[in-house]
Amino acid sequence: MNKYLSALFLFIIFLGIYYFGSFSKIPFADCVGFVLSAEKGIWETTASATSHFLYINTVIFIKNLTGINAIEASRFLVVSSGAATVSVVYLTVKSISKTEWASLVAAFVFGFSFSFWRNAEIVEVYTYNSLWVSLFFFSVIKSFIEKKRIYILLSSLFLGISLWVHIQNILLIPSLLVFLFYFRNEKKYAMASLLIFAALFSSLFILNISQGLPFKSPYSSDQGTWVEDSLKKSTIQYVKDFFQSFAYLIYNFNLFTFFGVTGILLLYKTNQKMFFVFTAGAVCVYGFSTFYAVSDNYVFFLPFNIIFALSIGYGLSSEKYTRLRKFSWVCLLIPVGYFVFYKVAFLTEKGKEFHTNKEYKGGLDYYVLPWMNNNVGILEFTIDKKQAPEPIDWMTISAVEYIKVLKSKGYTEEQIRKL
């Protein structure tokens, strides 16, 4: 089958999956803040660590262009970006492995991975960010495999654009620099590529400084001291974080984790230049995400998870795993695995206790299952003045403001509860 036709089918399949499982009501976390910004319709003019300039403005553009509300505009961008990223993962693996079944399996494994699937179901920035990051990886591999110089330029373009979505992507700069080092003989294209990235990166600082913000504003925030707190943990906590990162990895990729490791080793043997390009990015992202002092640090692993999914596909393409092709349909059972784990967790005392403690936002349903339909909403929680067993003021403040905006537009409390 034509690879682009396969990519289109994957896009349609995951577009349906993500839309079917998408949130019924605005979830907890940063979701309501993003929707509030889109609802106001005021263009974001600064690029700080938490403003997510390109994401917010893209949602507003979709909202203005189509006339749909902020919630549906956000849903469209998140879901379509998620489905598109799965297709790009497929195309990237196909470029390096030349193996159709391994490429399809890698795409399904990534599309069903908990962290990515969950973020394709809520109002967050991470699937849109993943799309740009995946295009960066796609261009890097195309540069090595097909020797087309245009991809050297596109690599810097896509990574540079991704910084305007999420500043975390500065962690991939070492990967870009190693990549350009290997193409240093293509002086014209390597230099142009570096200039493209430098222009996009420096524009973040120019934009903010022109509006009176400090130089460090693109990579800092006045909303928290998360980076500083990450350096103040105890040794025991660092160890716990390290093992927790492995738990995330296994929950995302289950038995396919083995093939991810195999793919890493295979790439080292067959293409060390490409290996070191991806290792430079993977180590930085994984290390930062592991020790970053936020409660939802699992989302920061997503650029690494894309790399690992590519590695899974490359590992499966090894000739010694050819016989596994007839069992490749097993990847379709990954959703069943989540449901089984969910049911088993309810049979344990700790599982029941955890569900009770977190029931205000859905309990185990929220933390174990990636789909979000029929979820508990932050707006109804706020309207009913419910109390959470942990601080969530940063969510409810945005919820209160959003409720006021909706009421000013004629919405009743009963209508708002359903949003």
Q: Is 402's pLDDT higher than 70?
A: yes
Q: What is the predicted pLDDT for the residue at 230?
A: 60
Backbone dihedral region for residue 69 (phi beyond 0: left; psi -120 to 50: alpha; all else: beta): beta
Residue position matching structure tokens 């920061």: 300
Average confidence (pLDDT) over 7-15: 96
Tokens representing residue 88 in the block: 């790009």
Q: Is pLDDT of 129 > 80?
A: yes
Q: In terms of pLDDT, which residue wins out, 153 or 240?
A: 153
- Mean pLDDT value of segment 232-240: 77
Q: Provide CB contacts within 8 A for 298, sequence distance 6+.
A: 115, 248, 289
- Cβ atoms of 180 and 190 within 8 Å: the answer is yes
Please state the rounded mean pLDDT for residues 70-87.
Answer: 96
The amino acid sitting at 177 is: L
pLDDT at 224 > cutoff 60: no
pLDDT of residue 101: 94
pLDDT, residue 231, reads: 62
Express each pLDDT in 92-121 by its tens digit: 999 999 999 999 999 999 999 999 999 999
* Mean pLDDT of the residues in the chain: 90
- Between 227 and 63, whose confidence is greater? 63
232 pLDDT above the threshold of 70: no
> Distance (Å, rounded) from C-alpha 67 to C-alpha 49?
29
Give the C-alpha separation, 87 to 107, whole Å.
7
Q: For 171-180, 222-231, 356-365, 384-393, which range has the lowest pLDDT when averaged over its residues?
A: 222-231
Structure tokens that stand for 291 in this block: 């020790």
Residue 243, C-beta contacts closer than 8 angstroms, at least 6 positions apart: none
Per-residue confidence band for 221, with pLDDT thresholds at 50, 70 and 90: low
